[in-house]
Structure 1
Amino acid sequence: MTAAAPDQVALAAAEALAHEIADAGARIGLPFVAVAADISSAVPPVGADGRPLAETLFRWVDPSLRYWEDHGFALRAAFIHASRACSEPFHFSGAGFGTWRPSRALDAVNAEGPVETYGVGAAIVCPAYLPGGVIGAVVWATADPEFDVESAFDRHAGELHLLALRFVATYGEAMAGEGEAPPRLTRREIQCLKWAAAGKTDAEISAIVDISLPTVRFHVTNAARKLRVGGRSQAIQRAATLGYIGGSSGNAASGPMRTRPPSE
């Protein structure tokens, strides 16, 4: 299947935002920038000319580190690792990772031990979580370990986070081709998928929700059809990325466990 051609208007808008990202870093004393439009992908963000922005616009602390050409870099980089744990902006210094409030997720990352800094003395990292489960990230860094990153974070994290979100969303739209509205699931379809995500069998869901076994299977199958996936497991995964069922089995029951009428 041939990939859709980039939307050149959206790509130009993303490149303009990339310039704003670089300018913001230079202004606040974090001149080195690394950007991932999708941390699950080894393909780096490119400009309108098709060249990686890491080559044409952004600079890194170690100019010899061509991280965008290393397909395993995202799995080793501590900043990307922490972005999987924390959706808010956070900062990095010799003391480790931190954010505006106590964060058990970042504490757990810090507890894993020293990280490879690739020459970074301090940094502000802004993850960008998008619909469909995509996570992007922008890192603004300096080689100076004495840089007062907490003060810079307090003053600029909101501005930087908005830039990161705008860039990742705009770039993602540029590369996605035609957009489409998410499918609409019924309350009963969502309820059945939530209990399925909690590990319940169709028979158990039937007893919990008080509808017949064939009706449970009908709702799960219908949800999978709407989500354009094949089968129960894929329907659960896709519904979770769209925010229909959340990421925790603890909220499986939305509303009363037994609801009528069964024909819903």
Structure 2
Amino acid sequence: MPKNCSSQSLEDDVLKLARSVAEAGKQIGLPFNAVSADISSPLPMCDTAGRPFAETIFRWIDPSFEYWKDRMFALRSTLVHATRTCAEPFYYSRGKVMSWRRNEALIAATKPEQYAAANIGAAIISPVHLPGGSIGAVVWASDEKIDLSDTFAANAANLHALALRFVATYHDARDLGPQGPAVYLTRREIQCLKWAAAGKTDAEIATIMHISVPTVRFHITNSATKLGVAGKARAIQRASTLGYIGHE
């Protein structure tokens, strides 16, 4: 149960946002919802009593398909996999998956036949990429094969904002997000991690940056300590999720 007034307020916000998610779908002809706070976790989004929102607030096209109880669903579902490749809302309509722009990664990750097999006639999907690398998702769906192009154009931005608020507030209420103060890496630490991410050895990084090998190791070790992880590989992964290492 909530520990204080602040956490109680967050829980109240979570419930209000969950109801808003359901209502938003009904207003645009997409009355069925599937939600996840973290697609890497088999745990469903629940209220403080432990009841899944999928059983109390949301409903799905096939009542017998309890996806939130299927621990392998995230590994099999093309819909879930698509949220890993796309950080913007997208939609499934008339056998195709589209977004605001052509997204080759999204197209490649999608198997339209799986939507049909799940009796999804049309759907708008909003991935929620949060700091620390967590990915949540909110789905608004219909069992009817309808053209969603105009509906998506008119509502995607607001739905995406609602999905972000819902999932982020849930993370805050359950302390699921990154803990502790913000991490600040120095320019040298970032440079060392970037070269390490590119596959360079400590000796090669030292030559490139005109510093000694022990200094390279010092910067990498120091960055790992700041990031709260152990080892070079974890430091690279963590720094990447925080936006310190791009794809150059």
Same fold (TM over 0.5): yes
Corresponding residue of 1:207: 207
Report matched runs for 1:1-264 at 5 Å. 7-110=7-110, 114-117=113-116, 118-145=118-145, 147-176=146-175, 179-246=179-246, 248=247, 251=248
Question: How much is the aligned-residue C-alpha RMSD, in angstroms?
Answer: 1.8
Unpaired segments of 5 or more residues in structure 2? none
Identity of aligned residues (%): 53
CA distance in 1, matches of 2:107, 2:29: 26
Corresponding residue of 1:257: none
User: Does the 8 Å contact 1:46/1:52 carry over to 2?
Assistant: yes
CA distance in 2, matches of 1:103, 1:228: 34
Per the normalisation by structure 1, the TM-score is 0.87
Stretches (4+) displaced over 6 A: none
CA distance in 2, matches of 1:113, 1:52: 28
Change (3 A) 1:134 1:104: same
Per the normalisation by structure 2, the TM-score is 0.93
Q: 1:109, CA displacement in angstroms?
A: 2.4
User: Does the 8 Å contact 2:128/2:164 carry over to 1?
Assistant: yes
User: Does the 8 Å contact 2:31/2:140 carry over to 1?
Assistant: yes
Deviates more, 1:112-121 or 1:227-236: 112-121
Deviations 1:195-216 (A, max 9, x none): 0000000000001111111111
Deviations 1:150-195 (A, max 9, x none): 1110110001000010111110111117942221110100110000
SS at structure 1 position matched to 2:139:
strand
CA distance in 2, matches of 1:162, 1:107: 23
Q: 1:103, CA displacement in angstroms?
A: 1.1
Q: What is the total number of aligned residue pairs between the two structures? A: 243
Give, as a single letter, the amino acid of the residue that structure 2 aligns with 1:141: A
Change (3 A) 1:96 1:177: closer
User: Does the 8 Å contact 2:37/2:137 carry over to 1?
Assistant: yes
Deviations 1:75-132 (A, max 9, x none): 122211111111110000232211111111122124x563244111000000000000
SS at structure 1 position matched to 2:123:
strand
